[in-house]
Structure 1
Amino acid sequence: MVRTIYRPGRRRWALVPAGVVLIALLSSCGGGAAQRGVDNSASFSPPPPPPVFYVDPDSEAAQEVDRWERAGRVADAETLRRISTRPSAKWLVGGDAPVREEVDDYLTQATIAGQTPVLVIHNVPDRDCDRLGSGGAATGQEYQRWIRELAGGIEGRPVIVVLEPGAVPDAVDRCVRNLKERLLLLRDAVAVLKSTGAARVYLDAGHPEWISDTASLATALGQAGVRDADGFALNVANFLRTRDNVRYGHRLSDALGGDVRFVIDTSRNGNGPAAGATVDGAPSWCNPPGRALGEKPTDAPGLDRVDALLWIKYPGESDGACRPGEPERGVWWPEYALALARGAAG
C-alpha cells in the first residue's frame, strides 16, 4: 500500500511507501526490537520506492517479457525489462469502447498501485491533418461529449493528461479545416478536465523542429487555454534530445510570460533524431533505426520550468507502416522495442 499525497507547493504528487508508515507505527508501540531481544546487527536494505508514475503490469512489453522467458530468450527478456518496468502513458483515441469505464478501470489500477497515471488524449476532429492516416471524432459536438465522459472516469483521482498531440502546432500550420473550432474545442477540453479537481493538464506544443515562430505558437496555445492548464508538452512521439527541448520550452514559456511550465517526452530520444528528412525512403520521424530509450520518467528532473520527463509515446509501438514489413501505427513491434532498449544507456 502506498499513500498518495498532493503537495501544492511542489506541483506534484509524492508517494509515501506504506512501509515507512508501518515502521513509524511500530516504533511508537512501546518496546523496540532491542528490548524484545531481537538481533539487529545484520544490515537491512529496504526495497527501492516504486516509480511515481504508473507502471502497467500488463503492458505489451511485460507480456513480451513473459513470452520470451518461456521461449528461452532470457537475455532479450532481461533487456526488454528496461521498458516493461518503467512508466508509460496510456493513449485514448476514441472508438466504440466506453471511455468512462476505460479511464475508471485504468485509474483504479493505478490507485491500487499508489502511482499517478499518465493519459494521452488524441481524438480531436481532423486530427493528424491526414499524415499517415486520419482519425478523431466526427464532429465537435461528439468530441465534447467524449471529453465529458472521459472526465467522468477520473472521479477526483490524481492523473496527468497530455492533451491532443499535434493539435495546436497543426493549427499554427493552418492545415486544420476549421481553425476556430479546433482552438475552442481544446479550450473546452482543458476546462472540463480541470473541473475534475485532480487532473494536471498539458497542451501539446510539438517540438523544436516543428514551429520555429514561438510567438505565433504561444498565441495559439493561449487561445487553446494553456493558461488554465498546467502547461504544455514537448517532443511527444519524437526523438529530439532533452536539452534541445528544454531550450525551446524556455523560449515558448518566455513568449507566454515566463511562468508557464512544461513536460518532455523522453521515451525514444536517447540517441537523438535520425539525420536527414528521410531514412530508407521513409520520413525520419517514422520508426527510424538506431534510436534508443531516453531518460527515465521522473517528476523531479531538476530542470528549470520542467515539471516532469515522461514516456508519452510507448517505446516499441510502430509509428506507421512506412517501410515494407513495418506494422501499422500503434501496433506493438517487439523487435523495434528491443532495439530501443539495447541502445539505452542503462
Structure 2
Amino acid sequence: MSASRTRAIVRALAVAGAVAVVGGALAQGFPADAATAARTAPPKVLSIAEIQRSQAKQLFSGGLAVQKDSKAASIVSDLTRQRRTADAKAIGRIASQPVAIWLGDWYSKAQLATVVGRAVANAAKAGKTPTFVTYAIPDRDCGGYSKGGLTASQYLSWNRAVADALRGHRAAVLVEPDSLAMISNCPSVAKARLPLIKSAVTTLAGAGIATYLDAGNSHWVTPQVIAPRLEAAGIASARGFFTNVSNFYPLKDETAFADRVSALTDGSHYVVDVSRNGQGWKGTWCNPKGAGLGKNPAVASGTTRLDATLWVKTPGASDGTCNGGPAAGTWWQSYALALVRLRAK
C-alpha cells in the first residue's frame, strides 16, 4: 500500500475517533501498515473548537476507564486476603466502576507525571478514557473540612504539570469542585480565584484536554448566579461544567438545573456526579446516614447537553469529621459498605 494511501486511512480513522492516541489500538480489520503508522505518528491534540463540537462518545472514546489501582481495589485485595468474602464482594462493586482520579496538592509536579502517566497508560491499554479532578486551588474549601491548596504561583505551575502529563492523551478533567459555587460562601476569594481557574482551563485546553468547571448543584446557587462566574472562569475555552460533585441530589434535579445553566452559557455541555445519590438528599452534604450508591457511570447518548453521569466523589471516602467520619478523603469502610447496601435499584 502506498504511503499516501496509508496516511489517508489514518486521517480518516482519526476524524472518526477510531485511532487510540495512547497505546495504538486500532479497530480490527484495518491493514497492518496503517496500524503501525497510527502508533508511531504524533498524538493528535484537539483544538478548543474540536473539543466543543465533538460528540460525548468521541470525547470519552471507548467509554470510561476503570482505575485498576484505586483505593477501593486495594481494599478488595486486603479483604480477600483476610477471607472476608462478603465485604470484598461488596467493595468490589465500587472498585469495578470507573471513578474519577483526584489530583491535589498532595502530589508534587514529579508525582503528577507518574500518577497521570500510569492512569492514561492503563486507560489506553483498555481502550477507555480516564477522568481526572484537580483539587489544589488556593484557599480550598474556604477553611472547611477539605481546607488547603497551593499558593497562586504554585497553582499555575502545578496545572502546567498536569497539562504536560496529559498532552496528546484522551482525557477529561473536572477543574476544582466547589471552587465557583463556594464564592457565595466566601466572596473575598473571587478576585484571585476566577483568573486562576481561567488560566488553568486555558492551559489544559491548550493541551487538547476536555475540561469542565464547577457549577455547584441544583440546591446551592441559582443558574443566574453561577453563569457569570463560569464565564469569568473561562468556560469559553472549556467543554462545559459539572454539578453535584460530592453531593446527593437526584439526577432529575441536576439535569433540570444544568439545562438552565447551559442555556445561559452558550449551550455548554455538562456532566453530573451520581456516585452517592441513589437514595437522594438526606439532609446534609457531609456523610449523611442513609445514602446509597447511584447508578453506574455512563457516557450519554449525545442527544442532550449531558455528556456523562460520573462517579466523581470516591464512594467510601469521608466528607470530613462529621457524623462520625474520619478526616476528609480518608477511606471509611463502614460507610462504603452502607453505600453499597443502599445502592440505587
Normalised by the size of structure 2, how large is the TM-score? 0.80
Q: CA deviation at 1:102?
A: 2.7
The structure with higher relative contact order (CA 8 Å, sep 6+) is: 2
Where does residue 172 of structure 2 map in the other structure? Answer: 160
Where does residue 138 of structure 2 map in the other structure? Answer: 125
Q: 1:135 aligns with which of 139, 144, 148?
A: 148
CA distance in 2, matches of 1:9, 1:229: 22
Q: CA deviation at 1:73?
A: 2.1
- 5 Å-filtered alignment, 1:277-316, equals 284-300=284-300, 304-316=304-316
Give unpaired runs (5+ residues) of structure 1: 26-49, 277-283
Rate the CA distance shift 1:322–1:339 in 2: closer, same or farther, 3 A.
same
Rate the CA distance shift 1:96–1:56 in 2: closer, same or farther, 3 A.
closer
Question: Any conservation in 1 of the 2:21–2:169 contact (CA below 8 Å)?
Answer: no
Q: 1:265 aligns with which of 273, 285, 295?
A: 273
Q: CA deviation at 1:106?
A: 2.2
Code of the residue aligned with 1:164 in structure 2: it is E
CA distance in 1, matches of 2:144, 2:244: 17
CA distance in 1, matches of 2:178, 2:128: 27
1:274-295 deviation per Cα after TM superposition (whole angstroms, max 9, x unaligned): 0x3xxxxxxx111111111111
Rate the CA distance shift 1:236–1:7 in 2: closer, same or farther, 3 A.
farther
Q: Secondary structure at the match of 1:294?
A: coil
Q: Secondary structure at the match of 2:128?
A: coil
Question: Any conservation in 2 of the 1:163–1:203 contact (CA below 8 Å)?
Answer: yes
Larger fraction in helix: 2
Question: Any conservation in 1 of the 2:21–2:170 contact (CA below 8 Å)?
Answer: no
- 5 Å-filtered alignment, 1:307-326, equals 307-324=307-324, 326=325
Q: Secondary structure at the match of 1:177?
A: helix
Q: Secondary structure at the match of 1:227?
A: helix
Rate the CA distance shift 1:174–1:237 in 2: closer, same or farther, 3 A.
closer
Where does residue 193 of structure 2 map in the other structure? Answer: 182
CA distance in 2, matches of 1:188, 1:19: 35
- Tell me whether 1:192 sits opposite 2:200 in the alignment: no
Q: CA deviation at 1:20?
A: 6.3
Question: Any conservation in 2 of the 1:51–1:87 contact (CA below 8 Å)?
Answer: no
Q: CA deviation at 1:52?
A: 1.6
Where does residue 129 of structure 2 map in the other structure? Answer: 116
Question: Any conservation in 1 of the 2:245–2:273 contact (CA below 8 Å)?
Answer: yes
Q: Secondary structure at the match of 1:167?
A: coil
State how many pairs are aligned.
Answer: 303
Q: Which structure's CA Rg is the greater one?
A: 1
Identity of aligned residues (%): 37
Question: Any conservation in 1 of the 2:141–2:147 contact (CA below 8 Å)?
Answer: yes
Question: Any conservation in 2 of the 1:232–1:261 contact (CA below 8 Å)?
Answer: yes
Q: CA deviation at 1:160?
A: 0.5
Code of the residue aligned with 1:200 in structure 2: it is A
Q: CA deviation at 1:9?
A: 8.3
Question: Any conservation in 2 of the 1:54–1:113 contact (CA below 8 Å)?
Answer: yes
- 5 Å-filtered alignment, 1:73-152, equals 73-95=84-106, 97-98=108-109, 99-138=112-151, 140-152=152-164
